[in-house]
Structure 1
Amino acid sequence: MSGGRDLGRWADRLWAAATAGDEQAAVGVARDALDAGVDMEALLLDVVGAVQARVGAEWAANRISVTQEHVVTAVNERVIAALADHPGARRREGSARGRLAVACVDGEWHALPARLLAEVLRLRGWTVDYLGAQVPTQHLVSYLHRTGPDAIALSSSIATRLPAAHAAIAACRATGTPVLVGGAAYGPGGRYARLLGADAWAPDARAAADLLARGLPRRPPAPPQAAGRLPHLDDQEYTLLTRSSADLVRELMDELERRHPAVARYTPRQRQATAEDLAHVVEFLAASLYVDDPELFSGFLTWTASILTARDVPTGFLLSALDLLARRLTGLPRAAGVLAHAREVLCGGLVPAPVPGPGKPE
């Protein structure tokens, strides 16, 4: 395997080709790397994966646009497809270890991390069914009954997808299939994985492949209603917030316009962007209530503030939004606590764990 410095140089070359939108050049870089002796797994994770991670960092710093990050992601997908067909992608083992499924939970469109995992598992000798992005839970269950894989890996990058991930984990566990989860949605150290009933969590593709090689335990099928039950949801705060979210966003937007004359003068495009930001605030508040963790919400707001700052957008409306939400959610004590914690964090009183936001590229 090439050293880290050599891999960095290959990643720089791939970045140059990908940002130029040159698929042929990008595939050529990957093939040249293989010809130079770079290990296929290292090429996938430490070159293609590194370029994809750089997309997120560059977008967050406002050095590339959303369109550009989509271009790079599309090129990376083309590179992965080309590598999958390359003779160097032959399995390292003499025979398949077993059958695995890899999928993104319903509503999760960040598919590239799952695709990288699928290719790494194939390299390591598994037969892998890669099911792609945004797989409805009922389709997952149908697939598991039909094919009976040894385990399923579920990927999710955005914390607002945690309720969908919970439903998918419970449904898969009900079939007796071990569930491995991964992705930023599950929080620092995978803190939400066990909470939601997963059998295991992995921080990256290598760790996931190592875990699966050791084998996940097959537990007796668990009824969906018992798998990862969250007693704190009995207070109905999450349900009440999600049911009223659309009205809440409209009310917040109207109140911001009354409080801040500059907002009232926004163009239609600026209004739409602000309404979308407010919708994300409400969505992440709901996700925080779902897992009963104030740090999820405060981390999202801190991340959002950094994104806005990089774009020279005033961040004061975030505090205004918190105040307005607190006034409208007085009957929800857990929500009030989450909002108070977030205000303290935004005002510099605490340091939250980083939580990626909804605009983070794949």
Structure 2
Amino acid sequence: MSLAITADARAAFDRHLAHGDEAAAAGLAVRLVEDGVSAEDVLLDLVGPAQVTVGARWAAGEWTVAQEHAATHVSEQAIAAVSAVTAAVPHGPRADGTAGGVLVACSDGEWHVLPARILSEVLRLRGHDVRFLGGHVPEARLVSELHQTGPDLVALSCTLPMRLPLAHRLIQACRPVGVPVLAGGTGFGPDGIWARTLGADLYAADAPTADELLRRQWPPPLAGRPSIDPACAEAYAQFVRRRSELLHRVVARLHERHPALRDPTDHEYDTTTANLSNLLDSLAAAVFVDDTQLFTDFLSFATAFLTARSLPPDHLGTVLETPAELLRDAPLFMGQLDTGRGWLANNA
């Protein structure tokens, strides 16, 4: 039985992340393993929770993007250090005792790679043959990997629901070659509800659960059945063609109503523009999966995000005016926008 992660170890690791001290963080992680803490516990009970705290500090406006990126880099180095000093268990889920091949990838447009990296390491430690492709894996690259390496399973990570339409393309790319997909990450919604909508064969909320599912049956069956409404898919496709125009109009409207946000040298300029882009993509993703919760969840995040930076949340109401004017001929989008405006009226 391995030792547990102590509160002192957690506090020390958090300090190393805050100071961007990769040597100290990696050294602490390795010492814990050498002292008898399992590598899996270091990854799941130290690095993972610490990174959640990093994200919370950024969302609350306590840390800048640069601080968040630096801390994430430190976490990645700690994972690499743990991986370098640990060996995988020499068995896997197949009946003959050999490990199964798992290809781990982040959805197209998804740069939050740490959860997928931890998944890869935990599966490796548990005996799986794992190949990690990293973040932002476009469809063409995934298809190439499928044909060149012939994995038994694709584990697809998505942390942002706005990327679900792109995740759907990757899931569907696996179908012609008969490779099942295990979905994971907060982007797939509560209990993985949108993973099922997209047609993933399995969903796991964390790495141990993923391993347990794979051990029940290897390789997993192709059980996923996408339930994307063709009308929703067509509405999304039409949005993609108009996205650039919509974003331009939304930014112009916001600057017209709030001139203080026009200055590109202001530290909030890039943040505001990025949030407008994310808002439109969340709106489109909500239409794609036909679920208003996706859009209202983003509005809830954006309200808290703006408030933490002393920016009036009523910016969101201004932002929603322009899509409502330009998408009057798109009833599915209008339904989402009406729900969003109603949510803002009651909560912002």
Q: How far has the Cα of 1:154 moved from its partner?
A: 0.7
Cα contact 2:232–2:287 (8 A) shared by 1: no
Greater relative contact order structure (CA < 8 Å, 6+ sep): 1
Structure 2 match to 1:91: 89
Residue type at the aligned position of 1:50: P
The amino acid that maps onto 2:154 is I
The unaligned stretches of length 5 or more in structure 2 are none
- Give the CA deviation at 1:96: 4.1
> Per the alignment, do residues 7 and 290 of structure 1 end up closer, same or farther by CA in structure 2, a change over 3 Å counting?
farther
**TM-score, normalization: structure 1?**
0.87
Pairing 1:269-288 to 2, within 5 Å after superposition: 269=266, 270-288=268-286
2:240 to 239, 242, 246: 242
Cα distance, 1:279 vs structure 2: 1.9
Identify unmatched segments of 5+ residues in structure 1: 351-362
Q: What's the CA shift string for 1:67-105, capped at 9, x where partnerless?
A: 11111111111111111110x434264864222111112
Of 215, 219, 224, 2:222 maps to 219
1:179 and 2:181 equivalent?
A: yes
Distance 1:268 1:23, change over 3 A: closer
Superposed CA offset, 1:280-311 (max 9, x none): 21111111111111111111011011011111
Q: Secondary structure at the match of 2:174?
A: helix
Give the one of 125, 138, 141 matched to 2:143. 141
Counterpart Cα distance in 2 of 1:214 and 1:91 = 18
**2:54 is the counterpart of 1:55:** yes
2:305 corresponding residue in structure 1: 307
2:233 is the counterpart of 1:230: no
Does the 8 Å CA contact 1:11/1:50 hold for their aligned counterparts? Answer: no
CA contact (8 A) 1:155 1:183 kept: yes
For 1:254 and 1:150, locate their aligned partners in 2 and report how far apart those are by CA, in whole Å: 48
How far 1:229 sits from its partner (Å)?
5.7
Q: In the TM superposition, what whole-angstrom CA distance separates every residue of 1:140-162 from its partner, at most 9, and x where no partner exists?
A: 22222232222110111112221
1:353 corresponds in structure 2 to none
SS at match of 2:175: helix
Structure-2 residue corresponding to 1:13: 12
CA distance in 2, matches of 1:297, 1:246: 19
Cα separation, partners in 2 of 1:231 and 1:82, compared to 1, 3 Å: same
Letter in 1 for 2:300: T
TM-score (norm: length of structure 2) = 0.90
Asked if structure 2 preserves the Cα contact closer than 8 Å seen for 1:110 and 1:133, the reply is yes
Separation of aligned partners in 1, 2:139 and 2:317: 36
| Distance in 1, Cα, partners of 2:269 & 2:62 | 23
CA distance in 1, matches of 2:6, 2:143: 39
Which letter does structure 2 place at the counterpart of 1:172? C
Deviation at 1:262, TM superposition (A): 4.3
What SS does the corresponding residue of 2:221 show, helix, strand or coil?
coil
Q: In the superposition, relative to structure 1, how do residues 47 and 333 fare at CA in structure 2: closer, same or farther (>3 Å)?
A: same
Q: Shift in Å at residue 202 of structure 1?
A: 0.8
Specify the SS of the correspondent of 2:133. Answer: strand
1:115 corresponds to 2:117: yes
Distance 1:152 1:2, change over 3 A: same
Letter in 2 for 1:185: G
| Alpha-carbon distance in structure 2 between the residues aligned to 1:349 and 1:22 | 40
SS at match of 1:236: helix
Q: Give the SS at the match of 2:209.
A: helix
C-alpha distance in structure 2 between counterparts of 1:79 and 1:234, whole Å: 42
Q: How does 1:99-110 map to 2 (within 5 A)?
A: 99-110=101-112
Identical aligned residues as a percent: 41
AA in 2 matched with 1:304? A
Confirm or deny: 8 A CA contact 1:294 1:338 kept in the other structure: yes
Q: How many residues align?
A: 342
Q: Deviations over 1:36-55 (max 9, x none)?
A: 32111111111011111111
C-alpha distance in structure 2 between counterparts of 1:133 and 1:235, whole Å: 25
Deviations 1:185-212 (A, max 9, x none): 1111111111111101111112112112
